[in-house]
Amino acid sequence: MTDSRLIAASRYFVVYLMLAIYLIPLFYLFNTAMKTKTEYIISPVAIAEGLEFANFKEAWEIGNFSTFISNSLLYTISSTFFSIFLALFAAYPIARRYVKFSDFYYLLFIMSLFLPSALIPQFVLINWLGLYNTELGYILLRTSGTGIAFLMFVGYIKSISRELDEAAAIDGSSYIRFLFSILIPLIKPVLATGIMLTAIGTWNDIIGPIIYLSDAGKQPITRGLFAFYGQYANNWPLLACGILIVALPLILLYMYVQRFLVSGALAGSVKL
């Protein structure tokens, strides 16, 4: 009994330790955002004496975050939507081996994860198509990489019985109807995981906007935060507010899909 209690206690210790590692920086960031500039200079690590929510309003207005967040939402929602459905449309026939050389195509997708970035060819192509410094060009660039979502979809779909395909064919279901009515509800866990990973990659991208978006009015929130930091690097309360504003949409997305993340990530890696 003593050994079992010791094992249980050690597990709880590890869980609480990991929780502290993640929450303490967030608490420090929020605590900094709730201070005035003078209060922070006097004691950076002390608990805030009050709740200066006006800092968020000030940071939002002077940082022009409304424009940057609108751009990021456009890029993230559009590229995530198209990336996920392209990955799904490619993963299903390859997982079921409905196309010739399915294993070869699957191997190509795996190899693409380890190849160097095709930055120069992409830049030349975007210029040639006349899509440089356009929202469409950047969305297409972010959509072109289905990445890990495709591999997860293939692994998950392989675990679904083929009898569903046969039953749908007997009932006269079309390919598109089968995907939307039967397959997507069955793969919600891995779908949520793919959405989260793809959205994070697009939302946090800063190299792409620097290269492909020269117009400040078209740049996403990462560039806005970078410019905000350059202007207010000495005003840590406002800077902390800006960081929290940038992180909030992804936190809300995670809270919505977190119940699917663990099961989706595991299910996509069990059967290959």
How confident is the model over 232-268, as pLDDT tens digits?
777 888 888 888 988 888 888 888 777 666 555 555 4
**Matching residue, tokens 């010791």:** 6
| Residues 100-140: tens digit of each pLDDT | 888 888 888 888 777 777 788 888 888 999 989 999 989 98
Whether the pLDDT of residue 74 is over 90: the answer is yes
The chain-wide mean pLDDT, for the chain, equals 83
Average pLDDT over residues 80-89: 89
Whole-structure pTM value:
0.83
Q: What span, in angstroms and rounded, lies between the C-alpha atoms of 105 and 185?
A: 26
Is 161 in contact with 95 (CB distance < 8 Å)? no
Phi-psi region of 96 (alpha: psi -120 to 50; beta: other; left: phi over 0): alpha
Amino acid at site 252: L
Q: Give the pLDDT confidence score for residue 72 in this predicted structure.
A: 92
| Residue type for position 25 | P
3-state secondary structure of 193: helix
End-to-end CA distance of the chain: 40
Q: What is the rounded CA–CA span in Å between residue 130 and residue 132?
A: 6
**Cβ atoms of 240 and 30 closer than 8 Å:** yes
Q: Under DSSP, is residue 158 helix (H, G, I), strand (E, B) or coil?
A: helix
**What's the gap between Cα 192 and its chain centre?**
10
Identify whether the C-beta of residue 69 lies closer than 8 Å to the C-beta of residue 244.
Answer: no
97 sits in the region (left: phi over 0; alpha: psi -120 to 50; else beta) called left
Find the helix or strand (DSSP H, E) in which 191 lies.
helix 188-203
Q: Give the integer Cα–Cα distance in Å for 81 and 85.
A: 6
